[in-house]
Amino acid sequence: MDQGRPPLLLERPLLATLRPENRERLTALTIGHERIGAIAEQVPGKVVAIKGWTVLHALANGFVAGPTSARFRGSCNVGVIAFEDSRFDAGTLERARGYDRIVVHSTYNRDLLLEQGILDVGCAFQGIDPSELPPLSPTGRFGDRFVIFSGGKLEFRKGQDIVLAAFRRFHERHPDALLVTAWHNYWPHTSGTIAESPLTPTPPMIGKNGKLRIVEWAMAHGVPPEGFIDMGFIARHQIATILADCHAAVFPNRCEGATNLVAMEAMACGVPVILSANTGHLDLIHEGNCLPLRNQTPVADPTGARRGWGESAVDEVVEQLERVYTDRATARACAEKGRIFMREERSWRAFAKFFVRTAA
C-alpha cells in the first residue's frame, strides 16, 4: 500500500452521508473511480487485475464479499471485516483463506480467527473525528432532567431490550430521568431479531412511513411517555449537540465485531458511558474510562454463531445508572478519562496510519 499516492476507489462513496467539508475532500477521488469503472466496462464479466496495488475487500459475516470484489484483484488482496457471526464452516474458512491478509477491528475478531488457524491477521481499531465532536456546553433542551442516551440500530445484538428494562426500573426511583434514543436505521426489518430476547415478546411495528414505531414499543414495555424521547434519524452534525445534554449513555450490547462507533462518540463527547464488558467493547475499557458491565452470562447459541456474546444483567445496568446519578463528580472524572482516551488514542487519523501499516 503506497502512502505516496491517493487511494483508488473501486466503489463510489456514499457522499450524501458525510459532512460537507468531508464530502469536498473525497469528491476528487471519484475521478479515479470513474476511470477504473470505464476500464472494467470494456471487459464485462472478467476480473480486472490491478497490478502493483493492494486491493481492500469489504467483507460481511461469513466472509462474504460484494460484487466489486469479484471484479477486481490486486497484487495483494486484503479482506477487511468486523463480524459477529462466529460460525466457521468449510465455506467460510475457504473464503477467509482466499485473501493474502485479513484486517479486523477488535481483538475479539482477531482471536476467533487465530483459533481457526488463520494467522495473517491484523487488528486496526476504528476511531472518531475530533473535529466532528467538539466540546460543547449543554443547551438545556431537556430542562433539568437526568438524561440517558442510547444509540445504535434496534436489534437483538444491540440490547435495546435491556436498556428499556433497566430504564423502567430506574425511572420508578427517579421520575426526573429521561431516556433519549437514536435507534432507527434504514433497514427497519432487521429490528425483528429483538423478539429473541426474553425481555420483549415483539419487535416494534413498522409504520406506513417505513420507520419503526419506537415510541409505541417503549410504552408497551412500561416506559411512561414523559420519560422517553425518540430522536429519529440523527445527522452527523447533530451528534455532539445532543450528547452535550446527556448525563449518561448506555450500551449493554450482546456483541460488537468492532468497537461500537456510537459508544466511542459518546465517550469522545465526555459522557459517562456504561458499557457491556464483552466482545469488541473490551477494547474500549481502559483504567476507569467507562463504567463496565462485568456480569456477563453466555447468550443462547444453538448454532455456534454467538461465541463470546454476553448477556448484561438488568440489575447491574440500574446499579451503574445509580452511581452516575448519585455521584456526579466521580462520573465526570470517568467521562473525562474516556474523552481523553478517544481523542488521543482512537481518532480516525490514528486509525488510518495504523491501518496502512497493518494492511501492507
Q: Structural domain boundaries of the chain?
A: 15-123, 130-345
Express each pLDDT in 149-207 by its tens digit. Answer: 999 999 999 999 999 999 999 999 999 999 999 999 888 999 999 999 999 989 999 99
Mean pLDDT over 69-82 rounds to 95
Is residue 8 very low, low, confident or very high in pLDDT (cuts 50, 70, 90)? confident
**Angstrom distance (rounded) from CA 26 to CA 19:** 11
Please give the Cα distance from 211 to 304 (Å, whole number): 32
Rounded to whole angstroms, the Cα distance separating 166 from 225 reads 16
The per-residue pLDDT for 3 is 52
Closest CA to 250 of 336, 319, 340, 186: 319
pLDDT tens for 318-335 read 999 999 999 999 999 999
Entry pTM: 0.94
Q: Which amino acid is at 169?
A: R
Residue whose C-alpha is closest to residue 147's, from 250, 77, 47:
250
Question: Is the pLDDT confidence value at 20 over 90?
Answer: no
Q: Report residue 139 as a C-alpha cell.
A: 443547551
What pLDDT does 16 receive?
75
Distance CA 230, CA 38 (A): 44
Grid coordinates standing for 242? 445532543
Three-state helix/strand/coil letters over the chain: CCCCCCCCCCCCCCHHHCCHHHHHHHHCCHHHHHHHHHHHHCCCCCCEEEEEEEEEEEEEHHHEECHHHHHEEEEEEEEECCCCCCCCCHHHHHHHCCCCEEEECCHHHHHHHHHCCCCCEEECCCCECHHHCCCCCCCCCCCCCEEEEEECCCCHHHCHHHHHHHHHHHHHHCCCEEEEEECCCCCHHHHHHHHHCCCCCCCCCECCCCCECHHHHHHHCCCCHHHEEECCCCCHHHHHHHHCCCCEEEECCCCCCCCCHHHHHHHHCCCCEEEECCHHHHHCCCCCCCEEECCEEECCCCCCCCCCCEEECHHHHHHHHHHHHHCHHHHHHHHHHHHHHHHHHCEHHHHHHHHHHHHC
Q: Give the model's pLDDT for residue 206.
A: 94
Pairing of strands 310-312, 296-298: antiparallel
Cell numbers standing for residue 198: 426474553
Cell numbers 458511558 correspond to 273
As its CATH architecture, domain 130-345 has: 3-Layer(aba) Sandwich (3.40)
d(CA 23, CA 27): 6
Set of cell numbers at residue 220:
408497551
Least confident range of 14-18, 69-73, 256-260, 327-331: 14-18
pLDDT band of residue 19 (cuts 50, 70, 90) is confident
pLDDT for residue 2 is more than 50: no
| Pick from 152, 181, 147: nearest CA to 164 | 181
For the cut 80, the answer to whether the pLDDT of residue 17 exceeds it is no
Instruction: Answer with the residue of higher pLDDT: 5 or 36.
Output: 36
* pLDDT confidence of residue 1: 40
